[in-house]
Structure 1
Amino acid sequence: MSVWATAFAAVVAFMGIGLVDPILPAIAENLRATPSQVSLLFTSYFLITAVAMLVTGWVSSRIGGKRTLMVGLVLVVVFAALAGTSDTVGQLVGFRAGWGLGNALFVATALAVIVGAASGGAESAITLYEAALGIGISLGPLVGALLGDMNWRFPFFGTAVLMAVGFLLVTTLLRPTPKPAVRTPLAAPIRALGHGGLSTTAFTALFYNYAFFTVLAWTPFVLHMDAHGIGLVFFGWGVMVALSSVFAAPALQRRIGTVRVMHLALALLIVFQLGLALSGHGGIIACTILSGIPIGLNNTAFTEAAMEVSDNPRPVASAGYNFVRWLGGALAPYFGSRLAERFSASTPYYVGAVCCAVAIGILIVRRRHLETLERVDIDHTFQDVPADARA
C-alpha cells in the first residue's frame, strides 16, 4: 500500500505539469499578459525544480524519505492554493516557483522511495513511476480544462485539494523510511555528474526536454481552441505518453537496447516538431498527440539510464540528472514564446527539432560512456529467457 500511496501522490504531482496548459490563453487574457509572460509559469516552476534537485538528497538523508515527501506535498498544497488567489502574472509566477520547490522535494524522493519499496526490482519500480508520470501528465490538461472552463483559478485550488489527499495517504500508509547510514553531502549531485555516463545522459536529456516542453508550453497558443479543446488534445497526448512509456519503451529496450530507443525516439520527435511547424490546424492537432509517443519512450529510457549508468546511489544520480534535464524545461517555454513573438509561430518548433538533433549528436560522440547501459540491457534480456533455454 505504501508504494501505491506514493504513486497516487506522484500522479497528482505530475498533473501540475500540464494542468495550466488549457488555461494559458485564459490566464493571458484575464491577467492582461503576453504569451512570453505567461510562459514564465513554466520557467519559474522548472528553474526552481532544477536547482532544488541539488538539495533533495541532502534533505532526505537527514530527515528521511517519508518526511521529505511530506514537506514537499505541504509546499505544493500551500503554493498551489496561493496561485489560485493571484491578481497579477508576477504573483502567479512567484507562487509557481514555490510550487516547484515542493515538487522537487517530492518527485526526486518519490522515485527513490518507490524503487526501495517495490517488490519487483528497480525496473518495475521505474515503470510504475513512469506510469504515474504518464497518467498525471494526461489527466492534468483534462482536469485543467474541466475546472478552468468554470474559472481559470479553479485548477490551482483543485490541485491543492488533491495534493492534500496525497499528503494524508502518504502520512497514513507509507511506512517510515530509515535514514541512510551515510548522509548525502550537499555537493554530491554535482560530483555525480563527473561520471561520463551520467553527464552524457543528463545533457542529452537537457536538449530533449527543451523540445518536449516546447510542445507542452507553446502549442496551446497555436491551437486557437477553447480550454476544452486544448485539454482534449493534450489528454490524447498524455495517453500516448503513458502507453509508450509503460508498454512500448520496456519492450523496445529489450529488443534494441536503451541507447537505440533514445536515438529512435529523438528522431521521431524531430519529425513531429517539423510537422508542428509546417502543418495546418488539423496537422498540428495530430502531431501534438502523436508526439507523446517519442516523449513517453524517452521518459522511460532516460530515467532508467540515469539510474543504471553510474555507480552513484540512485537518489544522488537522480538529483544530478534531474538538475540538468529540468533546465531544458525551464528554458524552452520562455525562449520559445519569445522566438515566436520575434519571428513566427513555427520558429520554436524548428529550434526544438535542432535540439533533438544536438541530443542525437551527443549520444553518438559520447557513446563509449554509455556502454554500461548495453550490459544492463543484455542482463535484462537474459533474465527474460526461460532457465531451460539458457542451458
Structure 2
Amino acid sequence: MSVMREQPRTVWITAFAAVIAFMGIGLVDPILKSIAEALNAPPSKLTLLFGVYMGVQVIAMLITGWAAARFGPKRTLTSGLVLIVVAAGISSLAGDINTLIALRVLWGMGNALFMATALAFIVGAAKGHQSGAILLYEAALGAGLAIGPLLGAVLGEWTWRAPFAGTAILMLIGAILCAAMLPKDAPRYTRAPVKITDPLKALRNHTLLMTSIGSAFYTGALFTVIAWSPFAMNLRPIYAGMIFFGWGLLTALSGVFLAPRAAERLGQKNGVIAAIGAYGIVMAIAAIGTLEGSVPLIGFAVIASGIPSGVLNTLFTSVAMATGDTPRSVASAGYSFLRWMGAAVAAVLVSYLAEWFGSTAAPFWFAAAYCVVAIGSVSMVRNEAASAPDVEPEAALVGAEEY
C-alpha cells in the first residue's frame, strides 16, 4: 500500500478518471425500472442500453490502438472522456428510449477510447514495480463497478435523469484534470505503427483464440447478471443499487486478494476454470430463485457472483496473454474484441430468451450454459505459461503497454 501512496499526481488523476469511466457500466442498473416507467420502454429496448454500449466497444477495440498510435495516447484518452461527458449530459435530457440508446453508443465509444489508454498512462508513470500500478488500476475498476450502481440508486430515487447528469459533471472534472495535467504526447514518429487488422490477425494464435472464446461466453454470463437481474428482482432503485454495490465491492476485493492465491494454488488456467465453474453454479442459483420468485435468493446470487468475477478479471487475460509470439497490446485488443462481443450479444439476447421460453429464469439458465462452454474452451488451451502459478497482474487488463 505504501507503493500506491508514493505514486505521482499523473497516476492518481488517471485513476480518478478511470473510476468514473467504469461507473458507467453499472450506472443504469438500479434505474432500469424507473426508465421503463418514465419512457414507456419494453425490456427489449432497455437491454439495448447495455447491448449497444458494449457492441460499439467491440468495434472500437479494433481502432483504439491505431488511434493512440496515430494521434497520441493523451489525445485519445481525453477525446474519450469528452465523448462520455457529452453522451451522459445529453442523456439526462433524453425524451425517449431510442435517443437514450443512441447516446449509449456514443458513451461506449468514449469509454473504449479511454480504457484502451488509461492503463498505459498509469503503468508508464508509476513508481516502483508495475504490480503496484496495476493494483491501483484494479482498485479503480472495482471502485467504479461498486460506486456506479450506488450513485445510480441514490440519485435515481429523485429522478432517473439525475445519475446521468451527475456522471457528466464528475467526468467533466476528470477530463479537465487529464487535459491540463497529463504529460504531452511524444512525437508521432516515435510511436510504433499499429494497423486496424493487427488484433484480428493475433487471433490466429491457438492459445489466444481459445481463451478469447472462453472469455466471450463467460462475459456473456456476466452481462446476463448486469442486464437481466434488475428485471428479475424488480426493486426500487435504492435497493437494487445496494445489491449491485455489494457485487462491485466483492469483485474488487476478490480481484486484488483472492485471485493471486487461486493462481498460486491452482495455476492460472485451472484457476480460471474453477472460477468459471463457480460462476455457473451461482447462475443456477439465480435461475432457481427466479423460478421460486425469491428476490432475496436472486440478490444473494448477484452479490456472490462478484467473487468469481473478481478472480476472472485478474486471471482470465493472463492466460490469453501467455502466447509469447504477439505484442501484448495487440493480443489484448484481439482478446477484448471477442470478449466484449460476448457481452454485447448476451445483453441484447436476455429479453428475447425470456420471451421465447416464457420464463424470466431462462436467461440465467443460459448463463449457466455459457459457463460450461467457457470451461470447455479454456480446457483446450495447451500452453505451459498459461498453466504456471505466477500471476502477472499487468497482463490482466487491456492496454498495459505504452503505445
The equivalent position to 1:101 in structure 2, one of 102, 106, 109, is 109
Q: CA deviation at 1:10?
A: 0.9
Q: Which residue of 2 aligns with 1:293?
A: 307
* Correspondence for 2:168: 160
1: CA distance between counterparts of 2:132 and 2:269?
Answer: 19
Q: TM-score, normalised by structure 1?
A: 0.92
Assess if the C-alpha contact under 8 Å between 1:148 and 1:154 holds in 2. Answer: yes
Describe the shift of the 1:218–1:207 C-alpha distance in structure 2 as closer, same or farther (beyond 3 A): same
Q: CA deviation at 1:121?
A: 4.0
User: Following TM superposition, by how much is the alpha carbon of 1:86 offset from its aligned partner in structure 2, in angstroms?
Assistant: 1.1
Paired with 1:24 and 1:378, the residues of 2 have a C-alpha distance of: 41
Q: Which amino acid aligns with 1:131?
A: A
Q: CA RMSD in A?
A: 1.8
1:389 corresponds in structure 2 to none
Task: After TM superposition, give the deviation of residue 312 of structure 1 in Å.
Answer: 2.7
Q: What is the Cα deviation at residue 334 of structure 1?
A: 1.7
- 1:243 maps to what in 2? 253
* 8 Å CA contact retained: 1:115, 1:121: no
Q: CA deviation at 1:307?
A: 4.0
Counterpart pick for 2:338 among 317, 320, 324: 324
1:260 equivalent to 2:270? Answer yes
Which blocks of at least 5 consecutive residues in structure 1 are unaligned?
Answer: 381-391
Instruction: Give the Cα separation in 1 of the matches to 2:59 and 2:160.
Output: 28
Distance 1:361 1:160 in 2: 41
Q: Tell me, which stretches of 5 or more residues in structure 2 are unaligned?
A: 1-8, 393-403
Amino acid at match of 1:233: I
Higher helix share: 1
Are 2:280 and 1:270 aligned? yes
Cα distance in 1, alignment partners of residues 182 and 329 from structure 2: 18
Match of 1:128 in 2: 136
1:69 equivalent to 2:84? Answer no
Structure 2 partner of 1:21 = 29
Deviations 1:241-296 (A, max 9, x none): 01001111122222322111111110110111000000222211111111110111
Q: Determine the structure 1 residue equivalent to 2:385.
A: 372
Rounded Cα–Cα distance in structure 1 between residues aligned with 2:15 and 2:319:
21
- Counterpart CA distance in 1 for 2:135 and 2:268 is 14
Which amino acid counterpart does residue 327 of structure 2 have in structure 1?
P
Tell whether 2:184 aligns with 1:171. Answer: no
Change (3 A) 1:87 1:183: same
> Residues of 1 paired with 2:125 and 2:317: CA distance?
18
Q: Distance in 2 between matches of 1:361 and 1:216?
A: 24
Shift of 1:298: 0.5
The answer to whether structure 1 residue 362 and structure 2 residue 377 are counterparts is yes
2:367 aligned partner: 352
Q: Which region of structure 1 is more displaced relative to structure 2, 123-132 or 75-84?
A: 123-132
- SS of 1:12 mapped into structure 2: helix
Cα offset for 1:119? 3.2
Residues of 1 paired with 2:156 and 2:390: CA distance? 47
- Aligned with residue 184 of structure 1, among 171, 194, 211: 194
Aligned residue in 1 for 2:220: 210
- For residues 133 and 270 of structure 1, what CA distance do their matches in structure 2 show? 23
Deviation readout 1:298-329 (Å, 9 max, x if unpaired): 11112333444444333222221111101111
Q: Relative to 1, partners in 2 of residues 1:222 and 1:301: Cα closer, same or farther, differing over 3 Å? A: same
* Counterpart in the other structure of 2:67: 59
Distance in 2, Cα, partners of 1:92 & 1:109: 26
Tell me, what secondary structure is at the counterpart of 2:326? Answer: coil
Q: Distance in 1 between matches of 2:125 and 2:330?
A: 18
Amino acid at match of 2:369: V
Counterpart Cα distance in 2 of 1:271 and 1:341: 23
- Answer yes or no: is the 8 Å Cα contact 2:315–2:391 preserved in 1: no
- Percent identity, please: 46
The match for 1:304 is: 318
Report which stretch shifted further, 165-174 or 225-234.
Answer: 165-174
SS in 2 for 1:367: coil
Q: Distance in 1 between matches of 2:249 and 2:210?
A: 29
Give the corresponding residue for 1:45: 53
Distance 1:306 1:367, change over 3 A: closer
8 A contact 2:85–2:171 mirrored in 1:
yes
TM-score by length of 2: 0.90
CA deviations on 1:81-107 (whole Å, 9 max, x unpaired) are 111111111111000001001111001
Further displaced range: 289-298 or 198-207: 198-207
Q: Where does residue 296 of structure 2 map in the other structure?
A: 282
Residue 193 of structure 1 is matched in structure 2 by: 203
Deviation at 1:201, TM superposition (A): 2.0
**Deviation, structure 1 residue 210:** 0.3
Query: Which amino acid counterpart does residue 387 of structure 2 have in structure 1?
Result: E
Kept in 2, the 8 Å contact 1:5–1:170? The answer is yes
Q: Residues of 2 paired with 1:379 and 1:269: CA distance? A: 21
The one-letter code sitting in structure 1 at the alignment partner of 2:334 is G
- Report the alpha carbon displacement of residue 347 of structure 1 after superposing the two structures with TM: 0.4
Shift of 1:372: 2.2
Partner residue in 1 for 2:158: 150
